[in-house]
A and B are shown apart, each in its own frame.
Chain A
Amino acid sequence: MRTLLALALFTALAAQAASVGAPAPDFTLESVSGGAVKLSQYRGRYVVLEWVNPECPYVRKHYGSANMQRLQKEATARGALWLTINSTRAGHPEHKSPAEMAAWMKRMDAAPTATLLDPKGAAGRAYGARTTPHMFIVDPKGVLVYAGAIDDRRSTDPDDVKTAKNYVRAAMDELLAGRPVSQPSTPPYGCSVKY
């Protein structure tokens, strides 16, 4: 019975997981500053999705070095939108309330378009988000054009940011130049998403 149930849950997850080159699943999530955000309301713009968990050492590497904030500011300055999503389940020891999440983002001087909470993990599962960080780019037509790691240096060492190849920046460079993304899928690295 447990196996059947596990299988059913898994199948549901796998069947929904977004794939690169296909329409990106839509979602509606609550923002930490109040109000709901629906992905499809941003059709016509590039949207970067970032999975986050402030308690994860890999996330802290990219925020502690200001790498993530720099990337957020850069992307939005180039006309893209940026949604930071925390899919940690309600009741998990690392779960953050909207106020706690908003306070952490403020303390980090983060600059996404919105910070969203996904305590039931629906958006996370729809995208097959596995790690924090895990990055996705949706193009103006609503197609998923990048899924994977933030960069090519799997580590928790902030110094590695300087020498890493940032896949999200590289993909945005190519997209804004009208070219296809040359590395549209990379293995994400980080902590597991706390579903």
Chain B
Amino acid sequence: MKLRIGALSAAAAGALAAALALWWWLASGEPGAIVRTAHAQAELVAAREAAEPGATLPVALRLKLAPGWHTYWRNPGDSGQPASLQWRLPPGFEAGAIRWPVPKRKMIGPLANYGYEGEVLLPVELRVPADVKGKVRLTALAKWLVCDPDHCIPESGEVSLELAVGKGGPSRWTPAFEAIELPRPAPEGWKFAARREANRVLLELAGAEEQALHFFPYEEGKVQHAAPQAAERTAAGTRLAIPAAAQPVGEWTRLHGVLATASGRGYEIDIPIEGK
């Protein structure tokens, strides 16, 4: 019985939180009001000051996390969960998926998380319909998990942004959008080969100067997230040893993910793994 009451009061608290979020949104005349939670500030920001009919509009969920707290990449690592957006858009608008910036690895004891600390912009491309007029309000229910090494808290909020329709210019957020470190294609001239050797995959990289590399897999259950990835110099370039998950999920047939450098750049790779 107690459990029922607990569940009910949790539902009531959820409804109250949703109502408060809605009230906050309705009451705020700000174009992009900041949602403040216990461990984060969240807002919806746009790279342009107006929504141009027929164009693509880069927007982003901007999360500013309290010091010591982190949130997650698309593959969260050993625990956790990536942020999500449920859009409520005017007719004809279409939202793409979140494009995940290059993550960092955060060790939590013997475990590892992939994600972000401090301030992060999670960008999404919106398709603006050609026949839109006047002003538009873009709204999303954002959910994110924040953790510090000791605790995990699911947080959420309704983020919203009102924009004029028109050509417009860059917004005050444009520099922040330009600074987002999205995975880029590997440079021309980099040559990759990967092969399975016992309980690790060896990635051979030729033609690159980069030494300190780390591979972040898109899929869980392939890589042992917390294991060090040893790099060694070879005649042709660099060899990176990537330990396999102790409890693998499915066959590991491709190295698909982001190869990150010490400077925080990331290169998207998708190459077959030879051998068994």
Contact = CB atoms under 8 A, between A and B. Distances in A.
Interface residues of B, number: 33
B154 A156 contact: yes
A24 B95 CA distance: 46
A151 to B, nearest CB: 14
Contact of B227 (A14, A57, A156): A14
Interface of A: 7, 9-10, 13-14, 17-20, 55-58, 64-66, 92-94, 107-109, 125, 128, 130-131, 147-148, 154-156, 158, 185-187, 189-195
Interface string B145-177: 101001111100000000000000000000000
A13 B79 contact: no
Contacts of B125: none
B136 to A, nearest CB: 29
Contacts of B80: 191-192
B111 interface: yes
A189 B147 CA distance: 14
A58 B249 CA distance: 21
B3 A108 contact: yes
A47 to B, nearest CB: 17
Interface string B1-32: 01100110010000000000000000000000
B78 A131 contact: yes
A187 B154 CA distance: 19
Contacts of B228: 7, 10
Given A9-B110, A192-B80, A64 B151 contact: no
B246 A148 contact: no
B154 A57 contact: yes
Contact of A130 (B6, B78, B243, B248): B78
A93 B151 contact: yes
A158 B10 contact: yes
B104 to A, nearest CB: 16
Contact of B150 (A7, A57, A92): A92
Overall SS of chain B's interface: loop
A130 B249 CA distance: 14
A130 B225 CA distance: 11
B238 interface: no
Contacts of B109: 192, 194-195
Interface of B: 2-3, 6-7, 10, 78-81, 108-111, 113, 145, 147, 150-154, 220-221, 224, 226-228, 243, 246-250
Contacts of A66: 3, 7
B78 A192 contact: yes
Contacts of A109: 2-3
B147 A192 contact: yes
B248 A14 contact: no
B243 A57 contact: no
Contacts of A194: 109, 150
A64 B10 contact: yes
A155 B152 CA distance: 12
A19 B246 contact: yes
B246 to A, nearest CB: 4
7 contacts: A19-B246, A64-B10, A66-B3, A93-B151, A128-B247, A193-B79, A195-B110
Nearest to B221: A187
B17 to A, nearest CB: 13
